[in-house]
Structure formats: structure tokens, C-alpha cells
């Protein structure tokens, strides 16, 4: 049976479904995304903390949203991407797909944790409480537990392919929580404010605020790509350590 092909610009992209082919490609991409993430983070924080105007209701305390909103967006988006890769690995039994899902999970958990803590820092001066069992906050906390559960389940199974399949089932089941997080402020009487930015509606904030928020979101995404590529390369070396191509890597030879 011949290997499927997806040729764009004379490049067969299905070739990179192999860890051996994807490993050097990932290594070449890491510096670009890492530098882009660093530059965008500096620009986004500068706009958010020094250029954006003071909010007429929340004062200076609102500036935490430039970190909080980007982290909250990424916590949900990374889970969807992780579940996608896990599902692809489950259906097509591809090694790289499971590795990518495993590599994304810690970063998704990190952004979920940041979203919860920055939300608490924002909530204290705004709502007068660090935490309330609000629908949005509770479903975001459940998302953190889903990330932890995914990582714990994989760690509890010694055989990597079985661990990938078990994690994929949990990841796909957990996808139902993402629309609950997003629509919770519409479905229930919630303390959390509604979305300031949504598809199909005009932004409910100053242009400078929106620009800073979007720059921080891109910084978070580029950071996610960079660290996930670093992590997936480490996973490849660990899982494929007996393969000839891994033994031939310069960094392995010199160690």
C-alpha cells in the first residue's frame, strides 16, 4: 500500500508525519517561534501596561486582563488542538500525533493555571472575592483537572502507545467542557462579565486595549508552538531511542 501524499509547493507534507523527518524540521522552527514569542510578549506588555488607557470603571487593576485573557484563550484553544492530535492518533494510529498531544498538555495546563490565578488577582479588587463558584470559573477549574488527568493517565501506563490511546479517549470526552466554558456567561446568571471580544460583534473596548490583547494572544501562541516543539523532540528521542536515526543524532553521539 503506497504512502498517502499531500503535495504543496513540491513538498510532500505527509513525509513529516514520521518522527525521523519531523525532528529536524521542529528544530529549525523553534528559534523562529521563540524569538517571535519574546518580541510579541514585550510589545504586548508595553502596550497593555504603558500605552492602553485607564479603564473608567476598574481603574488600573484591569490591566491584568492583558495576561489573563490571552492565557484563558490559550487554555481552551490548546485543549482543542491537543484533543485533535489525540483523536488523529487514535483513529489513524500515528506515532507523531500522540507525541504532539503529549507535548501540548503541560503548556495547556500552565495557561489554565495562569488564567485562574490572574482571574483571582483581578476578581479581588473587582468583585471583592478571590474566588466564587461561578460557572465560568468552575468550568475553567475543571479544564485544569482535565489536563492533569490526561498527563496522570499517560504517566500511569508504561507502554507509550497504550498511554496515547487512553489519553486520547479522555481528551476527546473532555472537549465537551470547552463550549461550556465559552458560553457559560450566556447560559447562566454568572458573576463573570461577558466577552469583550467575540466573532461577529464589534469589540467592546478601546482599540489600543484590543491591540495589546491580540498581541499578547499571538505571543502566547508562538510560545506554545516553541515549547511544544522542544518537548515533542525530547519525547521522540525518548520513545525512539533504539532507532538508528536517533543514535545518529549529533547531540546523542556527543553525550
**Helices and strands: H and E segment counts in the chain:** 9, 2
pLDDT, average across residues 64-74: 93
- The pLDDT-based confidence of 173 (bands split at 50, 70, 90) is very high
Q: Does residue 252 surpass a pLDDT of 90?
A: no
What is residue 209's predicted lDDT score, i.e. its pLDDT? 87
Among 192, 159, 225, which residue's Cα sits nearest to residue 69? 192
User: pLDDT tens across 88-137, in order?
Assistant: 999 988 899 999 999 999 999 999 999 999 988 887 777 777 778 888 88
pTM, 2 dp: 0.88
Q: What percent of the chain is predicted at pLDDT more than 70?
A: 85
pLDDT value for 7: 43
pLDDT for 200: 46
pLDDT mean over 80-84: 97
Confidence band of 199 (pLDDT split at 50, 70, 90) = very low
Which range in 31-40, 50-59, 207-216 is most confidently predicted, on average pLDDT?
A: 31-40
DSSP state of 48: I
SS3 of 6, please? coil
Indicate if the pLDDT at residue 10 is higher than 70.
Answer: no
User: Under 8 Å CB-to-CB from 115, ≥6 apart: which residues?
Assistant: 68, 71, 72, 75, 140
pLDDT digits (tens, 9 = 90+) for 211-247: 999 999 999 999 999 999 999 999 999 998 888 888 8
Buried b / exposed e along 224-248 (16+ C-beta atoms within 10 A): bbbbbbbbbbebbbebbeeeeebee
At 195 the pLDDT is 56
Q: State the pLDDT confidence band at 196, using cuts at 50, 70 and 90.
A: low
Q: Would you say 223 and 71 are in contact if contact means Cβ atoms under 8 Å apart?
A: no
Amino acid at each position: 500500500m503506497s504512502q498517502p501524499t499531500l503535495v504543496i509547493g513540491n513538498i510532500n507534507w505527509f513525509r513529516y508525519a514520521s518522527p525521523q523527518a519531523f525532528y529536524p524540521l521542529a528544530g529549525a522552527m523553534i528559534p523562529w517561534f521563540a524569538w517571535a514569542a519574546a518580541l510579541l510578549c514585550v510589545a504586548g506588555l508595553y502596550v497593555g501596561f504603558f500605552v492602553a488607557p485607564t479603564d473608567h470603571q476598574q481603574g488600573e487593576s484591569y490591566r491584568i486582563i492583558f495576561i489573563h485573557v490571552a492565557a484563558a484563550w490559550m487554555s481552551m484553544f490548546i485543549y482543542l488542538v491537543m484533543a485533535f492530535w489525540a483523536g488523529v492518533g487514535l483513529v489513524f494510529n500515528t506515532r507523531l500525533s500522540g507525541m504532539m498531544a503529549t507535548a501540548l498538555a503541560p503548556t495547556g495546563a500552565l495557561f489554565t493555571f495562569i488564567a485562574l490565578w490572574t482571574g483571582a488577582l483581578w476578581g479581588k479588587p473587582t468583585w471583592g472575592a478571590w474566588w466564587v463558584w461561578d460557572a465560568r470559573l468552575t468550568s475553567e477549574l475543571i479544564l485544569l483537572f482535565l489536563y492533569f488527568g490526561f498527563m496522570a493517565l499517560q504517566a500511569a501506563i508504561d507502554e507509550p502507545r497504550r498511554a496515547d490511546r487512553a489519553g486520547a479517549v479522555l481528551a476527546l470526552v473532555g472537549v465537551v467542557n470547552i463550549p461550556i466554558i465559552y458560553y457559560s456567561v450566556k447560559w447562566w446568571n454568572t458573576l463573570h462579565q461577558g466577552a469583550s471580544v467575540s466573532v461577529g460583534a464589534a469589540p467592546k473596548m478601546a482599540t489600543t486595549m484590543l491591540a495589546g490583547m491580540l498581541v499578547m494572544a499571538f505571543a502566547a501562541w508562538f510560545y506554545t508552538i516553541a515549547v511544544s516543539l522542544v518537548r515533542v523532540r525530547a519525547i521522540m528521542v525518548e520513545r525512539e531511542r533504539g532507532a538508528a536515526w536517533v543514535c545518529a543524532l549529533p547531540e546523542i553521539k556527543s553525550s
